[in-house]
Structure 1
Amino acid sequence: MEKNRTGKKILLYVITSLLAVIFLFPLVWMIMSSLKGDLLIFRDMTSFRAFLPPLPNEIDGGYFQNYVMAFERVNLMRYIMNSLIYTIGIIIFGLIVNSMAGYALARFNFPFRNFWLAVIIATLIIPPESIFLPLYVLVFNLGWVNTYTGLIVPFIANAFAIFLFRQFLLDFPRELEEAAKIDGCSQLGIFFKIIVPLTKPVFATVAIVLFINHWNDFLWPLVVANDDSMRTIQIGLQYFMNQPPVQWGQVMAALTVATVPMLIIFIFLQRYYVQGLAHTGSKN
């Protein structure tokens, strides 16, 4: 019996490792291609050398020449800063607003609580593109076009994030809150001094989800931020790829730069991310 369990675990680890390697192939190919010229990229396309760096004698100008040229051709640093301000702004304000909403739905008994929860969940099925026109009209009338406010404010509240916070907090022990109330702590004090520090996994989970979603946003920044100084990285990449002549090594370098922030966020928060996903479905 023990041998069967060990065999199944080994098989599971082998399968998951193979899947991980397969999923990493496009990322490795992109990074290796960013170090090569166009001729080398197309030459290695049909061989395993596509996943290997070029030899020193195969490149001119050093391994990072494509990165230097990409930053010189377009204002990639500005696009990256715009995306960071956009996504980090949504994350900071979103964590505050959505965590408070989730806490209220999990703890407070107010009229039509379940109805409002159902309404919030129902908004998940509405395609975001279907509300972009009225949302743009509102942002335009407020004078928020080509501003960080117009990019950030419409997406601070997030139904999925509220649901995750609510599910996680349903499993949070009430005894700690009751003890804090006895000690004279206010409701806001309980939230910020007890709830927030002890619910890091769900905060990390929501932060990762929001970062990935909005770092990859294309349509809304394209509509609201049409000035070059306000372009986000995804819009900048599209502009770069449409700018002749197309140098695929430089394109791969720009794509690699755009991918690095997501990898950094996930690597540093992955432990909390797994814990958050494991707990959010524990209660209904």
Structure 2
Amino acid sequence: MRGSNPAAGPLVITAEHGAPLVSLRDVRFAYGERSVLRGIDLSVHRGQVVAIMGGSGCGKTTLLRLIGGQLKASSGVVEVDGRDVGKMGRSDLYAMRRRMGMLFQFGALFTDISVFDNVAFPLREHTNLPPSMISDLVLMKLQAVGLRGAASLRPGELSGGMARRVALARAVALDPMLILYDEPFAGLDPISLGIVGQLIRRLNDALGASSVMVTHDVHESLEIVDYIYFVSEGRIVAQGTPDEIRASSDPFVHQFVNAEADGPVPFHYPAPPIDSLLQGVRP
């Protein structure tokens, strides 16, 4: 398994890793009449950090919600740890979620309680551990993200990067088997972005967990993930390891990685030629 040093290279999946922890097979989903996902196939093996990338509105966050069971696929299969999420009852779904961690976009901390109580919340909600043990676990999680000294502060007293690290400590409070990240780098300065990225990798490896990360941040992600899926118009249009993505000649990958304005994703929204619409302007 890959260590916390990105230089160790991506986790190579072989037959010995067995069945994937997360598997989506021909998954389709629509909000009413609007089709969002059109036959998604992807897998996440144990120990992997996997990124899902694509333009805004392409269905990335919907994929996280399907994996977490907040949404049910219109068709296809979403499996987590060998179980079909779409067929789970309420009690089974809640039990599975206790084995998951979630880092929401911008952290979503409870603003009226302390950093300590934010991290303690899932432990108090989902376990019967004594207060002394909960206190020890919270301090250990905060130590892991470098914020034990901020335990008594409120979220409003934290910088954006510190708040994201507290949210990460809360996401791993129950030592989950699977951690889901929705835009973990959004709004962070370069230093905070680098710190959060390294923490995602190190905590995943330390816990022996798997991580699924929805992100737009290509360059930071290529440094820490094992595999990337690119989504466009509800389909997987490209995939590969970081090295394969860097070397890819695929037009969509090239446009996305290099932040080019025009390409397979056009700059102009479809419209008639402008000359046919201008009435009073002629050369």
TM-score (norm 1): 0.24
Which has a greater percent of helix? 1
Relative contact order: is structure 1 or structure 2 higher (C-alpha 8 Å, sep ≥ 6)?
1
Larger radius of gyration: 1
Which has a greater percent of strand? 2
TM-score (norm 2): 0.24
